[in-house]
Structure 1
Amino acid sequence: MAVQPSRPLRLFADYLRLERVNLTERWMKAVFNDADLSESDRLTHEQLSDHVPEILGEIFSALEDQDLDEVEPSIERNARQHGRLRWKQGYRIDELVRELDLLRQVLMGAIDSFAQGHPTFTRRHEERARHFVDEAISFVTLTSIREVVTERDRKIDEYTGQLERANHELLLKQKLVGELYESRMQITRSVVHDLRNFLNVFAMALQMIARAPARTNAALALANRQAADMKTLVDELVEYSIVLGDNNPLATEAFDLRVLFDELVASCGPAIEAKGLRLVHRFDPQLRTITTNRLKLKQVALNLLTNAAKYTKVGEVELDMRAHGDAHWRLRVSDTGVGICAEDQQRVFREFERANQDDVPGAGLGLAIVSELCRKLHGELRFASHEGEGTTFEITFPLRLDPGG
């Protein structure tokens, strides 16, 4: 609450205003010479003075009017800025308290000096002035400390968030590494298993030739089938290793999608019809030129068509390409084959996952290759399947692929 200001206190406030520059320099000299304030040695005079001159001016006004409440908002604003800056400059809280205590000592010294030269400035005036200086500096110190603590807590929260994100990413990478290791071990086991089976059948064929020369033709036919299956396995392994190891920037080109569609029909149709199946093909006339990697797109379609024919004994395989909105198009391959049971649908895109049919050749890498190529071509892959009824794969591709997008 404000009290009626006395003339000696007003004169003292005027004296402090005239001496503000000297008081600021005296305080900075005390700070620079204090052995406990190591951070101040790195600061320029301007950096050190900071908001102190403004804070002094507000204290002088409070002394003059005997009312700290009036200037408290501006003192608080400057004290918060002072605390924030000291935090950025590397001050510890004890250093901040120490430098503000030196400011209090400088002001107390000014009270003593003024009292010695002004007899009307009585002891009661001194005590009143000391009370205001102590109260003002305490308020500045508390506000600055709170700002430092706030900045420190904010930084701690920021670091904690970064650590949590880094830890989460590390856990994900560890999981991926573990899955990758298990996947590679599965590849090794599967390849060794298949190659051993091939070699066992070769050995059986050779024994058949040695023991029953009359069955040489049957043994050679068996050996040829095994050689073809082994070649299929090796081809898929080579194809998959090329897809995974291709880290070059994706090359794109503009081409007529209808031309690629006709190529697929011409290349896959005879093999599908040779199995007694029908190839149903539909092309949307709205589709024209697209921009993507032509070879990788063709590889996706061929793998899906080959896979569909491989697991279909009766019925048809369908190839469909159509527009999908203004910026995308959709590739659809469906069949009337064995389908995929519900419990196996979560792992169809893993390496060496196959339908449980011994008469189906291959290593089970076709859909793994499709999945990786779709990722590179920014394709959104979906499928639906019902056991004993067939499977449908749909991939939505952009009409214009942005390799860096």
Structure 2
Amino acid sequence: MGDTSVGGLKGLVAALRGQQDALTERWMKLVFGDQEVEHSDQLTYRQLADHLPSIFDEICIVLESRNLRDQEGAIERDARQHGQWRWQQGYRVDELVRELDLFRQVLLLAIGEYAGAHADFSREDEEHARLMTDEVVSFVTLASIREAIGERDRKIDEYTGMLERANYELTLRQKLISDLYETRMQITRRVAHDLRNFLNVFSTALQLATRSAAKRETALGLASRQVADMATLVDEMVEYSKVLGDDSVLIVEPFDILGLFDELMQACRVSTESKGLKLVGHLDPGLGAVTSNRLKVKQVALNLLSNAIKYTSSGEILLSIATVPGDRWKLLVADTGVGISAADQERVFEEFERAADDDIPGAGLGLAIVKELSRTLGGELRFQSSKGHGSVFEVTFPLVLEPKAAEGQ
């Protein structure tokens, strides 16, 4: 180093600042040639020397002021940024420590060279400069390590969160698979049970027909009723499969409620009269056209009405359509049938659940179909029931159903 007219630590600082580029080159050669800093080979000149100027300048200020405390905040900020960058560049903690130790060696060597070239630089100043340099580099190393470890821990927390979410999703998928399996077993058991009853009744009918000609009419009637019951079961299963498998865009358009009301009353009149039931209808005169999917609304109504008729042996069936506050309208079906006990009410909308004995035909899918269609139509489904006192089912729909955009749009 060349002579300087400024003595003591100020002269050293001036010399170090003047030799900053040369000292940086010396340090980089050591880093690139050190086998313990493996990841340095993957960095450019700029990436390797990114925070060195800032840290170098902080060391010079500390040497000049003889006070580390005043610069701790700035040094820690630069050191933490250095540790963060090195972690992002793939450095291990031991490589970070080694790199900064080589920086320490370069600075201490420069101090020694300056002391050897300047007789006026006292031994006391040299020892102080070495101690302050060592303390600052140790502080930088500690702050850098803490930041690198913090980055590692944050990344571990991120990966842990991802693993926990993946595990949660996997658990949900496993439960879904288990539920699907259980549903499949329910279908198998239900169909097997109903087919067995179907065959038993047919066997009984054949036996009656073969025993005497007088009983053939009875046998044929028995067989006909059983065919009708099986047809009902198959129709329900086919309808439910169509509802679940319908992924087409929902068609929404205005339609007249009065026309739908008349269709529903006409469709149910024969079945109610055949059971001796009274069919009562009420339509709000202030309700005109609504915007929804007419076919699916009709499916909801027919399933509720069919269910009410099926489980009612005497009394009446009520169909009511009326407006409700909040730009909505409601479809209500009430009956005086067997009702639903409190124990069965939580599972009444589940597939293959029936709140009555097996002598009533069906697969227990009617209310499951209502639930799925109501969800599709933006409806809110509620019901009230008690054992032996009938049931009231109510679905509240929006007056104008906003169609959902197709996936991918």
- The TM-score normalised by the length of structure 2 is 0.91
Partner SS for 1:312: coil
Structure 2 distance, partners of 1:329, 1:32, is 77
State the identity as a percent: 59
Aligned-pair distance for 1:306? 0.8
Counterpart Cα distance in 1 of 2:198 and 2:102: 89
2:402 is aligned to 401
CA drift of 1:404 comes to 4.7
CA spacing shift, 1:14–1:254, aligned 2, 3 Å: farther
**Bigger Cα displacement from structure 2, 287-296 vs 213-222:** 287-296
**Distance change in 2, residues 1:185/1:139 (3 Å):** same
1:390 correspondence with 2:387: no
Map Cα deviations across residues 64-117 of structure 1 (whole Å, 9 max, x no partner). 010111111111111111111222222111111111111111111211221222
Structure 1 window deviating more from structure 2 (44-53 vs 94-103): it is 44-53
**Structure-2 change in CA distance of 1:68 and 1:374 (3 Å):** same
CA distance in 2, matches of 1:198, 1:25: 94
Aligned-residue offset at 1:325: 4.3
Aligned letter for 2:292? T
CA distance in 2, matches of 1:81, 1:365: 63
Residue equivalent to 1:89:
89
More displaced, 110-119 or 259-268? 259-268
**Structure 1 position 44 matched with structure 2 position 44:** yes
Counterpart for residue 293 of structure 1: 293
Distance 1:151 1:360 in 2: 66
Residue segments in structure 2 that go unaligned for 5+ positions in a row: 1-5
- For residues 105-144 of structure 1, the aligned pairs below 5 Å read 105-144=105-144
The one-letter code of the counterpart of 1:400 is L
Q: Which is worse superposed, 320-329 or 154-163? A: 320-329
Q: CA deviation at 1:358?
A: 4.0
Counterpart code for 2:76 = E
Q: Which moved more, 1:68-77 or 1:32-41?
A: 32-41
Whole-Å Cα distance in 2 between the matches of residues 361 and 355 of structure 1?
12
SS at match of 1:332: strand
C-alpha distance in 1, partners of 2:336/2:299?
A: 22
Aligned-partner Cα distance in 2 for 1:305–1:114: 101
Whether 1:342 aligns to 2:342 is yes
C-alpha displacement of 1:321: 3.1
CA contact (8 A) 2:348 2:355 kept: no
Whether the 8 Å CA contact 1:327–1:400 is kept in 2: the answer is no
* 1:79/1:144 contact within 8 Å kept: yes
CA distance in 2, matches of 1:245, 1:298: 18
Residue 174 (structure 1) aligns with: 174
Q: Aligned pair 1:326/2:326, yes or no?
A: yes
Question: Contact conserved, 2:322 with 2:331, CA < 8 A, in 1?
Answer: yes
Q: Judging changes above 3 Å, is the alpha-carbon distance between structure 1 residues 282 and 18 closer, same or farther for their aligned structure 2 residues? A: farther
Code of the residue aligned with 1:267 in structure 2: it is: A
Instruction: Return the alpha-carbon distance in structure 2 between the equivalents of residues 326 and 288 of structure 1.
Output: 16
Match of 1:9 in 2: 9
Give the superposition deviation at 1:20. 1.9
* Residue 7 (structure 1) shift: 4.1
Judge which range, 375-384 or 333-342, deviates more: 375-384
1:255 aligns with 2:255: yes
Q: Distance in 1 between matches of 2:48 and 2:167?
A: 39
Per the TM alignment, residue 297 of structure 1 is displaced from its structure 2 partner at its CA by 2.3
1:223 positional shift: 0.9
1:342 shift after superposition: 1.2
Offset at residue 206 of structure 1 (A): 1.2
- Alpha-carbon distance in 2 for matches of 1:117, 1:264: 109
Determine the structure 2 residue equivalent to 1:3: none
The SS at the match of 2:305 is helix
Distance 1:256 1:27, change over 3 A: farther
1:155 aligns with 2:155: yes
Q: Counterpart in 1 of 2:357?
A: 357
1:213 and 2:213 aligned:
yes
Checking the alignment, whether the CA contact within 8 Å between 2:251 and 2:403 is kept in structure 1 is no
Structure 1: distance between partners of 2:291 and 2:307: 26
**Conserved in 1, the CA contact under 8 Å of 2:51 and 2:78?**
yes
What is the Cα deviation at residue 186 of structure 1? 1.2
Indicate yes or no: 2:70 matched with 1:76. no
Greater CA drift, 260-269 or 104-113: 260-269
Corresponding position of 1:306: 306
Q: 1:185 to 1:110 in 2, by over 3 A?
A: same
Q: Which moved more, 1:344-353 or 1:8-17?
A: 344-353
Q: Which moved more, 1:327-336 or 1:202-211?
A: 327-336
CA RMSD of aligned residues (A): 2.1
Task: String of CA shifts for 1:153-204, please: whole Å, max 9, x gaps.
Answer: 2222222222222222222221221121111111111101101111111111
CA distance in 2, matches of 1:320, 1:18: 94
The answer to whether the Cα contact below 8 Å between 2:352 and 2:364 also exists between their aligned partners in 1 is yes
TM-score w.r.t. the length of structure 1 is: 0.92
Contact 2:250/2:403 (<8 A) preserved:
no
- Report the more deviating stretch, 38-47 or 51-60: 38-47
Given the superposition, is the C-alpha separation of residues 272 and 401 from structure 1 closer, same or farther in structure 2, using an over 3 Å criterion? farther
Secondary structure, counterpart of 2:69 in structure 1: coil
Residue 65 and residue 295 in structure 1: after superposition, are their counterparts in 2 closer, same or farther (change >3 A)?
A: same
- Kept in 2, the 8 Å contact 1:243–1:372? The answer is yes
